[in-house]
Chains A and B, each alone.
Chain A
Amino acid sequence: MAINWFKYSAPTTFYGLAGKLIPWFAIPAVILFAVGLYIGFVVAPIDAQQGEFYRIMFIHVPASILSMFLYLVMAGYAALGLVFNTRLSAMMASAIAPTGALFAFISLWTGALWGKPMWGAWWLWDARLTSELILLFLYLGFIALHASIDDPRRADRAAALLAIVGSVNVPIIYFSVKWWNTLHQGSTIKFSGTSMQIAMQHALLTMMLACWFYAIAVTLARVRSIILERERNTAWIEELPEVRS
């Protein structure tokens, strides 16, 4: 049976689908966070070089990866909205931005807490750290620019341009540890394999999935409010049971 994916590209149909999907991501996120923390703090052994401090990795790495990936997803939606003038794409971009900004902030915050005992400093103007800070500013710029323009369609177009231009920063963050001589360590998990202990790998993967599920659930919840707000003058919104009650 062929699935008509374009059916869900309209706010009318996506609103209901998002509502149904939220518990399917929110509940597993809670379970995965609990399991990930258990493996990370109870099962995973102490690190030979970094001691207990390496355990910050289980929140720092997923937050950093998500901050970058969410930016690309946001820029992708923004570009779709700009090229095809689709309403839902711009709404999705607006819904992703605050979550991406929070993950960028968590990445910088936990990085500082990891840096202090390892490097002896909370912050360094290192290539990886600075480019991640620029990512946070890009998210905040996207949100501020969108909020500063009254007409939502004009705001979508202006913010989309910023998101697309800013996406250049994502590969810079990723490759910064290779391109420049930085204090930040390189990737531990590579396509060729990893030297990480198995329980550490499991904890990291579980926390990564938990963060993913959380980000999807909260974005879907936020986009439902944006759809309600933007489509409030349409007939289908008036027919919704939550509006009629």
Chain B
Amino acid sequence: MNLDIWMRENPFAYIWFGSYAVAFLIFFIEIVLVVHKRKVTLQQVRMMREAADENEDEEIA
């Protein structure tokens, strides 16, 4: 069906799926990326700390 006709017959579906669903999907992806970044960064910092602790232990030994 022609999009022009479809959007005029189903304005709510056009508005919802076209703009609001896209906007909220973008927000959701951004939140997932921020949470993932935090997990990865925390993991890296913990690994660095563990490596530093092991080095200290080796030096003492």
Using a CB–CB distance below 8 Å, which chain A residues touch chain B? 37, 41, 51-53, 55-56, 59-60, 63, 98-99, 102, 105-106, 109-110, 113-114, 116-117, 214, 218, 221-222, 224-225, 228-229, 232-233, 237-238, 242-244
Contact = CB atoms under 8 A, between A and B. Distances in A.
Interface residues of B, number: 27
B26 A105 contact: yes
A245 B43 CA distance: 11
Interface of B: 4, 7-8, 11-12, 14-15, 18-20, 22-23, 26-27, 30-31, 34-35, 37-38, 41-42, 44-46, 48-49
B12 A99 contact: no
B49 A110 contact: no
Chain A binding surface SS class: helix
Contact of A110 (B11, B19, B42): B19
Given A105-B26, A232-B44, A59 B20 contact: yes
5 contacts: A52-B12, A59-B20, A60-B19, A116-B4, A228-B38
Closest 5 pairs between A and B when the two form their complex, measured CB to CB: A52-B11, A110-B19, A113-B18, A225-B38, A228-B41
A51 B15 CA distance: 12
